[in-house]
Amino acid sequence: MKQLVLDFPIQLQEALIIGKTHRFRTPKAEFTNVVVTGLGGSGIGGSIVQNYVSDKIKIPFLVNKDYSLPAYVGKQSLVIVCSYSGNTEETLMAMQQARKKRATVVCITSGGKIAEIANAKKMDCILVPAGMPPRSCLGYSLVQILWVLNHFGYISNGFEKEIKASIRQLKSKGNDVQTKAMVVAKKILGKLPIIYSAASIEGVAVRFRQQLNENSKMLGWHAVIPEMNHNELVGWRDDASDKVVIILRDADDFDRVQLRMEINKKVFKKYKATILEIYSEGKTYWERMFYLIHLTDWVSVILADLRGVDATEVKVIDSLKKSLAQS
């Protein structure tokens, strides 16, 4: 897993080439909504892209993480199917539903049943390299979603330049990122992590939580500001010396959200929680987001070492899938 995290900049390079060279079968068209359907490591790219396009796409953009699709999906819908393995049962069922509803379907996968169906039905299917844990392939899936949106005219190809700048930044800051990640990991060790961010970058916060779950084999939760100021903040009443608050911060966080963060820190400190702040770095959106993603990915694998667990194994998920297959 460490090698896969280390190779993230290389993955982004490959992902750009894969998407740019894909020859779409589906002609450009106008839709009334876009739905990305996928779960776990395959679906988180959609959540991060959703944050990115919130001020760019003028039609509804939904990330679906369930067996079924919203009732409004139909002939004028674009459904982007994301399953790294190509065999995720929830995503397969959503894909079949999209086809029945006569939506336009574009698939992003490394193979499996989804690739088979896509090829048989002559649907667009962008293939990414196989053989890795889905959570380690965020770069592949996320970048392909951007290329799909670009093909249909919803975003410009400006993201390509930004991602290339991100790759250069990650390569130049490699040792610095790992050093910072070690400091953060040591402060999280032995405590319950609580991740907060602005709502505008929630996808990155979710990604961090999921990486702590799968790589570090530990529980934790996340919430966003300002929403948590209307509910969760009231829950801060007891001694929290066994908890560590990690606030993900970005230069583009709304000024009132930044003010709320500063006020919230006083509440967390009152109840003796450890407070960590991780600031994004970079000039562009994707530079800053990929910096945060890369740094927190490193935190998760370093924590796995500190906790003496295997970052790669997910036996409990494998057992769940086996039980489902037998039912």
Catalytic residue among 230, 262, 266, 315: 230
Q: Is 321 a catalytic site residue?
A: yes
Catalytic residue among 22, 214, 217, 287: 214
Question: What's the sign of the alpha-carbon dihedral 33, 34, 35, 40?
Answer: negative
Q: Is 151 a catalytic site residue?
A: no
Distance, CA of 113 to CA of 250 (rounded, Å): 39
Q: Is 214 a catalytic site residue?
A: yes
pLDDT tens digits, residue range 22-71? 999 999 999 999 999 999 999 999 999 999 999 999 999 999 999 999 99
Q: What is the per-residue burial (b if ≥16 Cβ within 10 Å, else e) of 243-262? A: bbbbbbbbeebeeebeebbe
Domain boundaries, the chain: 2-156, 166-307
What pLDDT, on a 0 to 100 scale, did the predictor assign at position 324? 87
How many H helices and E strands in the chain? 12, 9
Residue 19: DSSP 8-state: H
Whole-model pTM: value is 0.95
Q: Tell me if the domain spanning 166-307 has CATH number 3.40.50.10490.
A: yes
pLDDT at 178 exceeding the cut of 90: yes
- Choose between 318 and 177: higher pLDDT: 177
pLDDT tens digits, residue range 70-93? 999 999 999 999 999 999 999 999
- One fold for both 2-156 and 166-307? yes
Question: What superfamily would CATH give domain 2-156?
Answer: Glucose-6-phosphate isomerase like protein; domain 1 (3.40.50.10490)
Residue 68: DSSP 8-state: S
Average pLDDT, the chain: 96
